[in-house]
Structure 1
Amino acid sequence: MPELPEVETVRRGLAPYMEGARIGRLVLNRPDLRFAFPDGFVEQVEGRTVEALSRRAKYLLINLEGDLTIISHLGMSGSFRIQAESNEGTPGAFHQQRSKDQAHDHVVFELTRAEAPARIIYNDPRRFGFMHLAPTSGLDAYPAFAGLGPEPTGNFLSADYLAQRFASRKQPLKSALLDQKIIAGLGNIYVCEALHRAHLSPERAAGSLVRANGKPQKSLEQLTEDIRMVIAEAIEAGGSSLRDHIQTDGSLGYFQHRFRVYDRQEEPCVTPGCPGTIHRITQSGRSTFFCPACQK
């Protein structure tokens, strides 16, 4: 499933084509994706101008004029494809190849733009993605957003904040970091990567990183910095790609070449001087990659 950096890459790729454009026509090639489209979806969206594209956690937000937002989730196989005179591509680099099979083109935005018309096509072979509508002014009340923690890219994420949330928790550190109510949008791959950089075991109790007085230990301060760094690097690299995947400008995301542990089971640890090898365990049904030698 695309993680935060991939969704952010999609947002940045679509923004030049969608922001300021008018949705002249919206075509739905089926009545549903993972869920049914909202009642009156076409009628509510057609004719509106896209004011901005934003993101919350792993959700893409298409903010329309008139206090209306399309909330889009890519699921496991969803992607957007751009058709315009200046370019044709698929924004975002993902862990699995995105489809361009037109049989799976389920939603088409036909845009009127000052530069030239464009079509934005949503393709989703497995149909685990979805699109909902909500008032822009009431997005905080949308069920998926209510209670979400701060973004790992924002100023609200701090070691003091994590110490407050981790205090007395016996929950494994990795599970705590994947809790969207603690940090929004942080996913499996980047948790594994951040923990390796911080040299912390994914099995360690989250509360062990908090002092008796409730203040963060230095290890938690380092982890907070590593979370920020690994997400920033992934966004800068254009999202991660384990297979070739074309972005809007035809370039590829190559962050996978900098993975330290993810999907590197039985390979040597890249930490200088570490003799360990990468292990894989299962936590809460998800694969965890780490080095037992240098992650304590």
Structure 2
Amino acid sequence: MPELPEVETTKNGLAPHIVGKPIKAVNIYQPQLRWPIAVEAKALVGITSGEIRRRAKYMLWEFPSGSLVMHLGMSGTMRVVSAQTALKKHDHFEVVFEDGSALRFNDPRRFGAILWQPAGETLSVLSQLGPEPLSDDFDGKYLHTALSKRKGAIKNAIMDNKVVVGVGNIYASESLFMSGIHPKRAANKVSLARCNLLAGFIKAVLEKAIGEGGTTLKDFTQTDGSPGYFAQQLNVYGRADLPCNQCGSLIKKQIIGQRSSFYCPKCQR
């Protein structure tokens, strides 16, 4: 599933091609994704599009009457092409601009979403979210407080969007490795000092991944079709039974919270 860096990369790639453009047509080819595609999008014909921003793993495309809220799901991609380009299989949604270009959403598994958020309102999927990890609201002190009553595994806690948004499986594993924290350690047993380290490494890992265009493991590519290159710099994720880059011990794989987790048994305690 695309995580925060992949969504940020997609947003940054789309912005120059869709912001400030008048909309000529909106086409819904498959109305049912994770939820039904918002029919309100049809009313955007004749409107000039506003900015696009990210909240957690959602992209919010702004218009005077509200926001088109877009989620890539497990396998969704967005690309800008000529409106004359033939549709691909699994192209479910399209916005055609007056200049002859078109934004298309392709999603083979149909776990993505195209929702509508009226101006002045907040959709339920956005209302319970914790702070952005790259914002000033997220730091070690906040994290230590948020974890104080959580007895479950630290990895599950930092992947909980109510604690902090956008720290998915890949980046949770990498941040915990860099912090020297075992992914199964009880969240409320992580000291303030180690929370300071962890919050800092979460920020550093995500910023590095964004700079590299995300991580291509299976489905994700950038809006121009090129892969994300952060996969070449992974320390533990996907490296089970390979030597740790720091100590040479073999990386372990374990299922934690129904997700594959990777860690070094020597470096992480």
Q: Name the SS for the 1:266 alignment partner.
A: coil
Quick one: percent identity of the two aligned structures? 37
Residue 39 to residue 244, structure 1, CA distance change in 2 (3 Å):
closer
Q: How far off its partner does 1:147 sit? A: 2.1
Deviations 1:125-171 (A, max 9, x none): 11111111012432xx3111112110111111011101111114321
Between the two proteins, the alignment pairs up a number of residues equal to 268
CA deviations 1:185-231 (Å, max 9, x no partner) are 11111000000001100011111123xxxxx1x22111111000000
Which residue matches 2:94?
108
Aligned to 1:30: 30
1:244–1:252 CA contact under 8 A, matched in 2: no
> Is 1:267 matched up with 2:250?
no
1:2-41 matches, within 5 Å, as 2-41=2-41
Contact 1:260 1:270 in 2 (8 A): yes
- 1:269 and 1:183 map into 2 onto residues whose CA distance is 28
Q: Distance in 1 between matches of 2:69 and 2:203?
A: 25
- Where do 1:163-202 residues align within 5 Å? 163-202=144-183
CA–CA distance in structure 2, aligned partners of residues 248 and 190 of structure 1: 21
Following TM superposition, by how much is the alpha carbon of 1:117 offset from its aligned partner in structure 2, in angstroms?
2.8
TM-score computed with the length of structure 1 as normaliser: 0.85
> Larger deviation: 128-137 or 239-248?
239-248
Q: Which amino acid letter does the alignment assign opposite residue 268 of structure 1?
A: P
Within 1, Cα distance between the matches of 2:258 and 2:235?
21
In structure 1, the partner of 2:54 is 55
Give the Cα–Cα distance (whole angstroms) in 2 for the partners of residues 245 and 159 of structure 1: 30
Of residues 213, 217, 238 in structure 2, which corresponds to 1:242? 217
Structure 2 unpaired stretches of 5+: none
Q: CA deviation at 1:244?
A: 9.3
**Equivalent position SS for 1:293:** coil
Q: Does 1:255 align with 2:230?
A: yes
The equivalent of 2:265 in structure 1 is 292
Distance 2:89 2:202 in 1: 39
Runs of 4+ with >4 A deviation: 243-246, 248-251
How far apart are residue 268 of structure 1 and its match? 0.3
Q: CA RMSD in A?
A: 2.0
The unaligned stretches of length 5 or more in structure 1 are 89-99, 211-215
Taking a change above 3 Å as real, the CA distance of residues 106 and 178 of structure 1, as seen in their structure-2 partners, is same
Supply the distance in 1 between the matched residues of 2:7 and 2:157 (Cα, whole angstroms). 22
Q: Distance in 2 between matches of 1:275 and 1:164?
A: 34
Residue type of the partner of 1:240?
T
Cα deviation, residue 84, structure 1? 4.3
Task: Please give the alpha-carbon distance, in whole angstroms, between the structure 1 residues aligned to 2:213 and 2:261.
Answer: 23
Q: Distance in 2 between matches of 1:237 and 1:35?
A: 31
